[in-house]
Amino acid sequence: MENNKEYKKHMRAVEKNGFNLNQVPEEFITQEMCNIAMFQEGMNGAIIQFIPNEFRTKEICEASMKGYGEFLSEVPKKLRTAEMCEIAVNYAGFMLKYVPEELKTYELCLIAVNDGSWVLEYVPEKYKTMELCEIAVKDSGYNLKYVPLELRTKELCDLAINGFGVLILVPEELRTPELCKVAIDYNGMALEFVPTEFRTEQLCEQAVTQNPYALQFVPSEHRGIEMCELALNHVDYDFKDEFLESYVPEAFQEEVLNDLDIETPKKIVERGR
């Protein structure tokens, strides 16, 4: 009797406002209550978030998707239809992540990638065409990591490097001196992925100027006092001591300190005693 009274109280609250379902203890939620919440005039698809899985019927899921594609992830996988998935992806490309593999089409993937390039990650391999990959990489070179190796052509890699410097994602055989130079222009740390034979003194200078921490990837034959000083000149004052001790060869530290008129760190002073 008491439970029936409590149930009626919660039902009245839901009838008044469907979102009150969020406040109903799970043991009092019924299919009827969920239907009232979802199909109430003025309600929207967000209600599905508060409906227990066992009450998410085909009708409730379809209603939740009308104009609110963002809730595809709340629809049980077995109830996700092609129509629902199309609504969701047109609402936001990243919803492709929640589309069952068997319902993904090239057209749907194209819509998704045009809306959010990183969604290429969720495109099935069979739909990763050069057209699709180019759209994604043009928007962000980092998407090259989702491109099949056989499609990482010189042209696509050039596209990825320009503006992003993601040399790590470029097949080694395509890492030409010219491409490496462009990569270093955008990201000095890309020096780590430059083939050793291409790490010239000039390229290393370019790298440490862009990012002084690239000094750690400079070959020893180029890591002389001048290179160390060039790098240290591009380090913020507060971090110069730490940089000096971590990246400048011990044999050069005192000379670099003197040349750049930097106060000798306590650790170096103690080491010299």
- Residues of the chain where predicted confidence (pLDDT) is lower than 70: 1-2, 67, 259, 261-273
Q: How far apart are CA 30 and CA 55, in angstroms?
A: 8
> What does the chain come to in residues?
273
pTM: 0.79
pLDDT score of 56: 96
pLDDT score of 261: 65
pLDDT score of 229: 92
pLDDT score of 254: 85
Q: How far apart are CA 114 and CA 135, in angstroms?
A: 7
- Give the model confidence (pLDDT) of 80-107 as tens digits: 999 999 999 999 999 999 999 999 999 9
pLDDT score of 41: 81
Q: Could you tell me the CA-to-CA distances from 246 to 118, 190, 215, 243 in Å, in that order?
A: 36, 19, 10, 5
Measuring CA to CA, which residue among 71, 108, 115 is closest to residue 92?
Answer: 115
Do the Cβ atoms of 166 and 146 come closer than 8 Å? Answer: no
- Give the model confidence (pLDDT) of 160-189 as tens digits: 998 788 999 999 999 999 999 999 999 999
Do the Cβ atoms of 141 and 164 come closer than 8 Å? Answer: yes
